[in-house]
Structure 1
Amino acid sequence: MLVAFSLTPMGVEAGVAGYIADAVKIIRESGLPNRSDSMYTMIEGEWDDIMDIIKQATEAVAAKAPRIQLNIKADIWPDMPAPLDGKIALLEQRITDTTPDPASPPG
């Protein structure tokens, strides 16, 4: 399972790095494969493990911010090994593959 989520502290100044740092630290220390960018954090793992980490991260932000928006998007693909990197590998393979895509209409 791959989950992308974002925590947005509300009612605080425009710069939120100080509010999010503790959450990212929890995620990184979880041992689950993860990646953060400027908009989302992605975590790979089992449902309960991921949701527990999201809960801990949310609580860390809640300790500093009066309100939080939490957005979660999940990709549940049981046959995809290592979806954090596997989905990108599939995309890269398709980009470099010169054979016609069977899903594309001819012409």
Structure 2
Amino acid sequence: MILDRNAITQDVPINPETGKPYLNTVAAIQVSVSGAGSEVSPYVAQAVKVIRDSGLPQETNALFTDVEGDLDEVLHVAGEAAKKLAEQGYRTSLVLHMDIRPGFTGQLTEKPQIVDKLLSE
């Protein structure tokens, strides 16, 4: 399969284990609680731990944890991270921004590299 970053559509690979289309997704996930005071880091850390324990490639920055994987896996881990806090009785906020791009993988690192390259030219 040949990938073309400028193509409108790509061939959609099939996951050999499941037989389903593999829909690569890069997502920015933010989970927090409301009404717990001015410092929510202890709650955010619980949600981030769920994401990190998922085994999906991820990186945490000041506002989001970016994750990459199949669409179903990413949606599952985002839901589990939110449930970690909601099941404790907290009003929980989940912000989810996704780029679903069939055929591509490794975009968590490749996308920033492309931007850096363009900026250095």
Q: Same fold (TM over 0.5)?
A: yes
* Structure whose residues are more often helix by fraction: 1
Q: What percent of counterpart residues are identical?
A: 28
CA RMSD of aligned residues (A): 1.4
Residues 41-97 of structure 1: CA deviation (Å, up to 9, x unaligned): 111000111111111110111133521121111111224331111100111111122
1:31 to 38, 55, 60: 55
Q: Which has the larger radius of gyration?
A: 1
> Number of residues paired by the alignment?
97
Unmatched 5+ stretches in structure 1: 98-107
CA distance in 1, matches of 2:117, 2:100: 21
Instruction: Return structure 1 stretches of 4+ with deviation > 4 angstroms.
Output: none
CA distance in 1, matches of 2:100, 2:41: 29
1:16 matched to 2:40: yes
1:50 to 74, 81, 85: 74
Unmatched 5+ stretches in structure 2: 1-24
Amino acid at match of 1:30: S
Q: TM-score, normalised by structure 2?
A: 0.73
Q: TM-score, normalised by structure 1?
A: 0.82
Moved more, 38-47 or 17-26: 17-26
CA distance in 2, matches of 1:49, 1:35: 16
